[in-house]
C-alpha cells in the first residue's frame, strides 16, 4: 500500500488539548464551537493540501460537480467533518444528540440469534454516534480500532462505549487482536469493523464505486465469507445541529450463502460499494476519506 | 509427528491458496508470519479456522496463539497435544 493511502488512525492534537476541548463543551454552546471552527477551516484547507485536493477530486470526478461548486463543496465537507469531530468531543463531555434510527429491526433480529455477526462502518458521517445508540445487552459489540489512537482518546471512548456493552479492540501489529476477534465471533458476539480502510493486511478487493475502480480492504469481506456470517452496514449521517439519522442495511443475501468463498467475498464487496454509492449520492458532503481513494 | 507436519503443510497450502508451493517448500521451523512464509492477518484468521475445523482446537488467548503460530513445528506440537478431532 502506498504511503498516501496509509492512515495512522490518530485524532489530531495533544491529550491536554483534548481535555481542554471537553472542558469547553461543558460550558460553551455547540453552536459557538461550530462558529469558531468555521473560521479556522479556510486555513486548514490551505495548509493541509492532501485533504483539500482529494475531496476536490472526489467532488469533481466522482460526483461530477463543476469547479466552483466543488471548491465550496470542499469547504462544506471540511465543515461537516469538523462538526463530526466536535460532536465526538461533545459526547465525551456528556452532550447527547437526537437520533432517528432506520431499520433498527435488522440489528435486533440478529442480536436475538445465537450466532455472531459483522457490522461494517465507513468514513462517511459519524460512525461513533452509532455506537452510542446501538446497545445490545445480550451480545457484546467488539469495535476494531486503528492502532495509532492516543491513549487519552481511547480512554474517553472506552468510558463512553463501555456501558453500552461495547469493547474496543486495537488492531496492533503483534496480531493479538486477531485471537480476541476470533474468540468474539466464536462466542456469538458482534464485530464492528471499518470496511473502507486497510489495516493488518494490504490485500484488497476491486469494486466499481461512483463510476471508477476503487479498492476495499479484503479483511472484512474475507472474514464474513470465511465464517459465512451475516453482515450489517451502518451509517450515522448528520441531519441537524443536534441530530443524526442512523441507517442500517443487511448486506448478505440468501444467494450469497451458496456461493464459493471467493465469489461471496466479492459479492459482499460489490453490494457494499453499491450501498456506499447510494449513500454518497444522497449525502455527497459527508465523505471523510481525506486521501486519493480512487487510484 | 512428521506425518502431522506434512498434513498441516498440505492443509495450509490449500487453505491459503499457495498455488505455487508444495509441502517440501515449507521449512518446519521457519517463521510463518512476516519473514518465512510472509503470512498476514487474514491468513492468521484462516489458520485459526483451519485449526477449529480440522482439529477441533479454538485459539482464543493472544499469548498462546502467538506462540502456536510461530512455525509449522509449534503448530504441530500444539495440535498433537490438544486435538479433539
- A255 in the same domain as A198: yes
* Among B33, B39, B41, B48, the residue to mutate for chain A (most A Cβ within 10 A): B41
A36–B contact, CB cutoff 8 A: no
Residue A8: what pLDDT? 46
The whole domain housing A65 covers 3-92
Is there a domain that residue A116 lies in?
A: yes
A223–B contact, CB cutoff 8 A: yes
Residue A165: what pLDDT? 85
- A231 in the same domain as A214: yes
- A25 in the same domain as A115: no
- A182 in the same domain as A249: yes
Q: Which residue is closest to B58 within chain A, CA to CA?
A: A183
Place of cell 493540501: A49
- A114 in the same domain as A68: no
- A88 in the same domain as A38: yes
Considering A77, A92, A107, which residue would you say is the last residue of a domain?
Answer: A92
Is there a domain that residue A294 lies in?
A: no
Q: Which residues in B lie closer than 8 A to residue A182 (C-beta atoms)?
A: 45, 48, 58-60
- A109 in the same domain as A35: no
- A35 in the same domain as A178: no
Helix (H) or strand (E) holding A236: strand A231-240
Residues of chain A with pLDDT under 50: 1-9
Question: Is A182 in contact with B59 (Cβ distance < 8 A)?
Answer: yes
User: Kindly report the CA angle at A102 between A100 and A108, in degrees rounded to 5?
Assistant: 110
- A113 in the same domain as A9: no
Question: What total of structural domains would you count in chain A?
Answer: 2
Is there a domain that residue A128 lies in?
A: yes
- A278 in the same domain as A248: yes
**Facing residues of A118 across strands?**
A191, A231
Helix/strand/coil for A74:
helix
B16–A contact, CB cutoff 8 A: no
Is there a domain that residue A291 lies in?
A: no
Is there a domain that residue A23 lies in?
A: yes
Is there a domain that residue A266 lies in?
A: yes
B56–A contact, CB cutoff 8 A: no
Name the grid cell of A53.
Answer: 485536493
Nearest Cα of chain B lies from the Cα of A295 at a distance, in angstroms, of 23
Place of cell 452496514: A233
Reported as a single tens digit per residue, the pLDDT across B26-83 is: 999 989 887 778 888 899 999 999 999 999 999 888 888 889 999 999 999 999 999 9
Reported as a single tens digit per residue, the pLDDT across B20-40 is: 889 999 999 989 887 778 888
Is there a domain that residue A293 lies in?
A: no
Considering A66, A92, A118, which residue would you say is the last residue of a domain?
Answer: A92
Name the grid cell of A190.
Answer: 458482534
Distance CA(A231)–CA(A233), nearest Å, equals: 7
- A267 in the same domain as A242: yes
- A57 in the same domain as A196: no
Reported as a single tens digit per residue, the pLDDT across B9-22 is: 999 999 998 888 89
Considering A92, A108, A134, which residue would you say is the last residue of a domain?
Answer: A92
Question: Is A174 in contact with B66 (Cβ distance < 8 A)?
Answer: yes
Count the alpha carbons within 13 Å of A100 in the hemisphere toward its beta carbon.
7
In CATH, what number is assigned to the domain containing residue A259? 3.40.50
Is there a domain that residue A290 lies in?
A: no
Residue A10: what pLDDT? 55
Helix (H) or strand (E) holding A143: strand A141-145
Name the grid cell of A169.
Answer: 479492540
Helix/strand/coil for A9:
coil
Amino acid at each position: 500500500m502506498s504511503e498516501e493511502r496509509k492512515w495512522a488512525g490518530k485524532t489530531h492534537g495533544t491529550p491536554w488539548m483534548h481535555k481542554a476541548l471537553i472542558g469547553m463543551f461543558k460550558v460553551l454552546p455547540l453552536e459557538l464551537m461550530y462558529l469558531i471552527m468555521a473560521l479556522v477551516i479556510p486555513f486548514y484547507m490551505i495548509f493541509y493540501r492532501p485533504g483539500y485536493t482529494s475531496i476536490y477530486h472526489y467532488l469533481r470526478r466522482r460526483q461530477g460537480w463543476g469547479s466552483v461548486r466543488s471548491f465550496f463543496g470542499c469547504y462544506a465537507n471540511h465543515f461537516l467533518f469538523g462538526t463530526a469531530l466536535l460532536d465526538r468531543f461533545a459526547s465525551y463531555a456528556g452532550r447527547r444528540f437526537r437520533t432517528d434510527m432506520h431499520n433498527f429491526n435488522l440489528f435486533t433480529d440478529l442480536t436475538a440469534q445465537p450466532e455472531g455477526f459483522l457490522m461494517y462502518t465507513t468514513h462517511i458521517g459519524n460512525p461513533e454516534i452509532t455506537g452510542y445508540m446501538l446497545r445490545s445487552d445480550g451480545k457484546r459489540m467488539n469495535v476494531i480500532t486503528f492502532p495509532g489512537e492516543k491513549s487519552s482518546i481511547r480512554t474517553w471512548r472506552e468510558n463512553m462505549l463501555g456501558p453500552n456493552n461495547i469493547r474496543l479492540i486495537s488492531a496492533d501489529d503483534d496480531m493479538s487482536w486477531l485471537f480476541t476477534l476470533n474468540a468474539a465471533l466464536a462466542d456469538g458476539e458482534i464485530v464492528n469493523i471499518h470496511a473502507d480502510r486497510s489495516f493488518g493486511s494490504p490485500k484488497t478487493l476491486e469494486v466499481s464505486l461512483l463510476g471508477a475502480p476503487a479498492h476495499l480492504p479484503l479483511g472484512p469481506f474475507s472474514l464474513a465469507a470465511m465464517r459465512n456470517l451475516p453482515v450489517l452496514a451502518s451509517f450515522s449521517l448528520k441531519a441537524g445541529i443536534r441530530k443524526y439519522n442512523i441507517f442500517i442495511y443487511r448486506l448478505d443475501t440468501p444467494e450469497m450463502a451458496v456461493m464459493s468463498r471467493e465469489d461471496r467475498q466479492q459479492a459482499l464487496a460489490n453490494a457494499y460499494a453499491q450501498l456506499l454509492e447510494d449513500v454518497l449520492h444522497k449525502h455527497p458532503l459527508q465523505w471523510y476519506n481525506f486521501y486519493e481513494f480512487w487510484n | 509427528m512428521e506425518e502431522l507436519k506434512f498434513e498441516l503443510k498440505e492443509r495450509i497450502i490449500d487453505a491459503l491458496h499457495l498455488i505455487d508451493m508444495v509441502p517440501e517448500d515449507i521449512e518446519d521451523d521457519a517463521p510463518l508470519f512476516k519473514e518465512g512464509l510472509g503470512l498476514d492477518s487474514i491468513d492468521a484468521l484462516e489458520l485459526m479456522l483451519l485449526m477449529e475445523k480440522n482439529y477441533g482446537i479454538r485459539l482464543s488467548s493472544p499469548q498462546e496463539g502467538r506462540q502456536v503460530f510461530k512455525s509449522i513445528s509449534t503448530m504441530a506440537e500444539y495440535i498433537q497435544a490438544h486435538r479433539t478431532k
